[in-house]
Amino acid sequence: MKKLLYLLLSMTLAFSLAACSGGTKPSSENGESQPPSEASVESEESSDSEMQDESAKPANGAGDTLIAYFSWSGNTEQMAQMIRTETGGDLFEIMPATPYTDDYDALLDVAQQEQRDNARPELAAQVENWDSYDVVFVGYPDWWSDAPMLIYSFLESYDWEGKTLVPFCTSGGSGFGRSLDKLPDSAPEATILEGLHVSGSSVEGAGEDVSDWINSLNLD
Position 1 scores a pLDDT of 40
Query: Is the model's pLDDT at 180 over the cut of 90?
Result: yes
Q: Please give, one letter per residue, the 3-state secondary structure of the chain.
A: CHHHHHHHHHHHHHHHHHHHHHCCCCCHHHCCCCCCCHHHHHHHHHHHHHHHHHHCCCCCCCCCEEEEECCCCCHHHHHHHHHHHHHCCEEEECCECCCCCCCHHHHHHHHHHHHHHCCCCCECCCCCCHHHCCEEEEEEECCCCCCCHHHHHHHCCCCCCCCEEEEEEEECCCCCCCHHHHHHHHCCCCEECCCEEEEHHHHHHCHHHHHHHHHHHCCC
Query: For the chain, which domains are there?
Result: 65-217 (3.40.50.360)
Question: What pLDDT is stored for residue 24 in this prediction?
Answer: 37
Q: What is the share, in percent, of the chain residues with pLDDT greater than 90?
A: 70
pLDDT band of residue 62 (cuts 50, 70, 90) is low
pLDDT at 33: 31
pLDDT in the model for residue 174: 80
